[in-house]
A and B are shown apart, each in its own frame.
Chain A
Amino acid sequence: MRTTFPDAGVLRPRLKLTPWDAVVVPLIIVIILLLTIAFQGASQPFDVATTPDLTVSLDPINLPYYGLRTVFRMFLAVLLSLLFTFTVATLAAKSRRAEMVIIPALDFLQSLPILGFLTVTTAIFLGVFRGSLLGLEAASIFAIFTSQVWNMAFSFYHSLITIPRELREAAAVLRLSPWKKFWKLEVPFAMPGLIWNTMMSVSGGWFFVVASEVIAVVGRDNDQYLPGVGSYIALAIEQADIAAMVYAGLTLLIIILIYDQLIFRPIVAWSEKFKFEQSEAQEVAQSWMLRLLQRSGFASSLNAVGAAVRRSIPTLPVREASGSRVEAQSDPRPMDRAIDRVWYGMVIAVTLWAVWFLATYMFGPGLGFENGRVLAANPNVNTDLDPEIARQFAAFGVTANPDQTVWLSDVCAATAGGTQVSAELAALVRNERVGAPDDLAAACAVPMAPAGKVAWSEVLECLWLGLLTTMRVVIWIGISTLVWTPIGVWIGLRPRVAQFVQPLAQFAAAFPANLLFPVAVVLIATYALPQNLFQAPLMILGAQWYILFNVIAGTVSIPNELKEAAQVLGLRGWAWWRKLIIPAIFPAFVTGGITASGGSWNASIVSEVVSWGATTLTLSGLGAYIAYWSTGEFNPHVGLGMLVMGLLVLAFNRLFWRRLYMLAETRFRLD
């Protein structure tokens, strides 16, 4: 009978400190302390109406604290992602009916632009955490979360459904409870894949941390700068402060380095033991941090306490009766089929309702039609979303919206269809920063979409913009493939160089590329360079590394004998590429290409509008469109942009990458 919790006996004999503890114990205390500080900062009061605008200071002395806050956000986002993964992906793997809904939903969600989520959720979180800064923090964290969670969930789901049959049977014969089975079989089996995907997610996440700390809030003229490195960078860009940019870059470099050494590497090295392979691997990942922890007496007694606590948890009575069967649904019962039918019906009904809801939300009640005619667009005349101009319009009785938009239909309403325009209003309408039509009366006479809603002509425009962005993604993925493949192969053929370059490439992928955007702005503005040629590649800046390191990995894994055979056969030049290298690295390349193209789609929102000081360069495209309409509150326009981008990415993946992937799986597998 166990009376204490946890077992006292477990603790006492083991607390033996070793010299390593001189490092480990302070490290743990410091980490706890830092987390407390960060949490205090994040939970300060914030009221949308009264608290002064949040801002940051460019004094580099603040950078350690900002770095801490940024890391804290990242940390919470990862925790949330894991939580989501463990619950939702597990549900999808365990329940056929849930799977049917969850998997396509995740597939669609992962093609939506991540920064779009920032707009969707800010208002919601401000409402949930009323009066606390946590609302804004949550919005920022949620954006990071969405950048990480989907591929983690997919990886976990995929692992769960590929657990070998005999292992599942062994667990059933041993009568492991579902809870125990989860931790002893399912999680360990999924661990290597999950850890790898989490690490990749975090690498990609730095980019979005930087982009999601500056948040537009409805009802505020200015953006809110959450304390963090991202905000610091944004302010430095606004003020064109080169020194500050360098400091911020250094800070990020240090953060990523610490993260890599203290967290990434130990965990990867530790997860080696979960690899489900029959033979021992040749090269095993190493980490000094892991060795340190393993030698530390304090850490291992912490571990022992953890184990004791874990042991006390399953308070459920031990099952004396039989365990559960493992059967996959081989013969569904009639009852099951009836429930299935009801379930399909419900899913279809809910989907239809959601589509209808979304359509009416975007187009208004008539879905963009009135009396059988297509409605014209109802543009926002306050093109720059300038609060000053919005106030001037409000003075003339034109409805002013919290997000500073001024809709043409409202101008028409205030002027009796554009016929009664006072001289002052006429002057305002003529202002070059106001995008009103020259002939107001004529424009008002055409039936147009309700205020704030989109019209079908805008859908076409969006598709066109989407096409532009797609073209950029395709061209630049192509160019970086052409550039990096030979380099990657060259490196991969030299194991020594590869060992050195591989971590560098991973590191480069983690380093947020948005930090380098201003360099492009300055160059383009100073030398009047063509934007399409010099600004567009920014979207691939961070994503290209995935291609490089996958090509390296692919090349490294070509069996030596194959290379020798090629040599003996006298393959060289183009034949050597065509017959040996390209087929051999193809699967790895496809994996990298998928990640890179997803990354550049997401980056388009940030890279089609870049600025430095007073200079802002805009490239027309879907990314710029979404960035423009991200006004702090979800609106039909940003919804349209996200939807179009999501569908384009989905189509692109299905029609292009999926096919290449199948080809890689069936034709080019090296085994």
Chain B
Amino acid sequence: MATTLTPKTTASVGKVILSARNLHKIFKTPEGNDLLVLDNIHLDLAESEIVALLGRSGSGKSTLLRCLIGLISPSSGEVRYRNRPVTGPMPGMAMVFQSFALFPWLTVLENVELGLETQGVPEGERRRRALEAIDLIGLDGFESAYPKELSGGMRQRVGFARALVTNPDVLLMDEPFSALDVLTAENLRTELLDLWEERRIPTKAILMVTHNIEEAVLMADRVLILSSNPGRIISNQRIDLPRPRDRNDPAFIAVVETIYRAMTTPEAAFVGAAAAEIDHTSLGMRLPEAEVAQIIGLIERVEAGPDRGRDDLPALAAEMQLDADDLFVITDAAELLGFAQTCEGDITLLPEGVKLARSDIQERKVLFAEHLMNRVPLAAHIRRVLAARPDHRAPRERFLTELEDFMGAEEAARTLDTAIDWGRYAELFEYDAREGRLRLPENGG
């Protein structure tokens, strides 16, 4: 079903600079099984466009970005940059990292110059261009500072200067603003957009990974949405709003709303594109890393909201001051547990969800436990194993290795910890973190 999605309008789009065809990426789980992360990705990045890549946490956005720039090799398929196959990082492509990735032992100037050293730029010119880039990005006066003396925003400026000093054709950014506070991020975003609009940087195209829907709509000419598990491009949407864009503009709000809709289809949600194919009694289900208090808090809020049991997600995100991504983690959990449903950018409580919101603490636990047992195979499995053992105990490791059949080590640990967290709340089992051991509650639960 994977068809190439081409932009609807091609009027303002120039020639393609970076493209991916039939891209697949398969990781090996620690237990040696295959884990399909990227499935048949087709993607074109054309001259003078900014493309934003959205998707749930763990959907493979970073992996895709790293395949494109040549940091990791695709399992099959091809990436081409200006018609040359990409087999490793190439001149012409630069990258900005979420954690800045500056070299702490080099000064700002040295960090920026580093990008030029490998391009064989002579020393004098190197210095001049580095200073220019520093100037451009608003860092003058900090040339001889070390990164650790700078604030997060200033550090990311160095990250940008280091990328831009090489005059890159294509700029790839992996959540460049997500480690910054709201105001700093806004400030840096605006400045970057100004540079881009005024053509003060020679960069021809930008691809950025983000989990912030508003950010995507503010910056991008096109938004791609990656489904989860495995990652496929399930939506490709042009944004033709004039710049500078205004968050309160009804047209802007409408676009945000459509993207929310696209992000709340079952494929995009954590259940994933392969939802129909995966066996729901299998342990291989990843769990969204939401806390019980957050899940119940959300359900209570929706139940008590103006529409009694139904709410608009963009509005909720704004009200709760959450990034879309953080909100999705919670709605995914509520959905998985059978308390709510998301669709068309809205969340709707199911009868069970309403019941949960209205019950007292003890009833809540019982209801939650019931849903957990019925809908999360991992929780039921842990219960069964513990019950079968004479001493009703089992080490965490035991379950971890089981999960590692299906997913990467980090993902497995995250999923198990979430299950443990939920199970503890539901009093299905207890966990001794010191010994790393699970056991049935004393009274048999």
Contact = CB atoms under 8 A, between A and B. Distances in A.
Interface of A: 164, 166-167, 169-170, 172-177, 180, 184-185, 188, 191, 273-280, 311, 318-327, 330-331, 666-667
Given A172-B89, A188-B103, A318 B69 contact: no
B434 A666 contact: yes
A180 B98 contact: no
A283 to B, nearest CB: 15
B27 interface: yes
Nearest to A174: B115
A277 B146 CA distance: 12
Contacts of A273: 104-105, 146
Given A175-B91, A185-B103, A667-B434, A277 B148 contact: yes
Contacts of B93: 173
Given A311-B123, A331-B27, A169 B88 contact: no
Given A318-B118, A330-B28, A325 B99 contact: no
27 contacts: A166-B101, A167-B101, A169-B95, A170-B95, A173-B71, A173-B95, A174-B115, A174-B118, A176-B114, A184-B106, A184-B114, A188-B105, A273-B146, A274-B104, A276-B104, A318-B119, A322-B70, A322-B89, A322-B90, A323-B89, A325-B71, A325-B72, A325-B88, A330-B28, A331-B28, A331-B75, A667-B434
Interface in B72-103: 72-73, 75, 86-91, 93-95, 97-103
B117 interface: yes
Contact of B101 (A169, A277, A279): A169
Nearest to B34: A331
- Name the prevailing secondary structure of the A interface residues: loop
B120 interface: yes
B129 interface: no
Contact of B71 (A172, A278, A311, A331): A172
Given A177-B118, A322-B88, A327 B73 contact: yes
A185 B89 CA distance: 17
B103 A325 contact: no
A1 B125 CA distance: 13
B135 interface: no
A330 B114 contact: no
B88 A331 contact: no
A325 B123 contact: no
A579 to B, nearest CB: 15
B118 A327 contact: no
Given A170-B102, A173-B94, 8 more contacts: A170-B95, A173-B89, A180-B118, A188-B105, A322-B89, A325-B88, A327-B72, A331-B28
Contact of B88 (A275, A311, A324, A330): A324
Task: From B27, B71, B94, B97, name the one whose CB has the most chain A CB atoms within 10 angstroms.
Answer: B71
Nearest to A274: B105
Nearest to B434: A667
B66 interface: yes
Nearest first, the 10 closest Cβ-Cβ pairs linking A and B are: A322-B88, A318-B120, A170-B101, A166-B101, A323-B89, A188-B105, A322-B90, A173-B95, A274-B105, A175-B118
Nearest to B168: A173
Contacts of A177: 118
Interface of B: 26-28, 66, 69-73, 75, 86-91, 93-95, 97-106, 114-115, 117-120, 123, 146, 148-149, 162, 434, 436
A184 B434 CA distance: 40
Contact of B87 (A164, A170, A318, A322): A322
Task: From A277, A331, A667, name the one whose CB has the most chain B CB atoms within 10 angstroms.
Answer: A331
Nearest to A187: B105
Contacts of B73: 325, 327
Contacts of B436: 666
Contacts of B71: 169, 172-173, 325-327
Nearest to A279: B148
A323 B88 contact: yes
Given A323-B89, A325-B71, A164 B120 contact: no
Task: From B27, B72, B100, B105, name the one whose CB has the most chain A CB atoms within 10 angstroms.
Answer: B105
Contacts of A279: 148
Task: From B26, B89, B97, B115, name the one whose CB has the most chain A CB atoms within 10 angstroms.
Answer: B89
A273 B114 CA distance: 18
A180 B105 CA distance: 14
Given A180-B117, A318-B119, A331-B75, A175 B101 contact: no
A588 to B, nearest CB: 20
B91 A320 contact: yes
A331 B37 CA distance: 13
B76 to A, nearest CB: 11
A582 to B, nearest CB: 15
Contact of B114 (A166, A174, A277, A667): A174
Contacts of B149: 280
B90 A323 contact: yes
Contacts of A327: 71-73
A326 B71 CA distance: 6
Nearest to A281: B148
A170 B118 CA distance: 13
A172 B93 CA distance: 12
A324 B72 CA distance: 9
Contacts of B86: 322
A320 B92 CA distance: 10
A322 B68 CA distance: 13
B108 to A, nearest CB: 13
A170 B148 contact: no
A277 B93 CA distance: 28
B96 to A, nearest CB: 10
Contacts of B114: 174, 176, 184
Contacts of A274: 104-105
A46 B106 CA distance: 49
Contacts of B28: 330-331
Contact of B97 (A166, A176, A275, A325): A166
A635 B97 CA distance: 59
Nearest to A276: B104
Given A167-B103, A278-B148, A176 B118 contact: yes
Contact of A184 (B94, B95, B100, B103): B103
A319 B75 CA distance: 25
Contact of A164 (B27, B69, B99, B105): B99
Nearest to B100: A166
Contacts of A318: 118-120
A319 B90 CA distance: 9
Contacts of B90: 175, 321-323
A391 to B, nearest CB: 64
A162 to B, nearest CB: 15
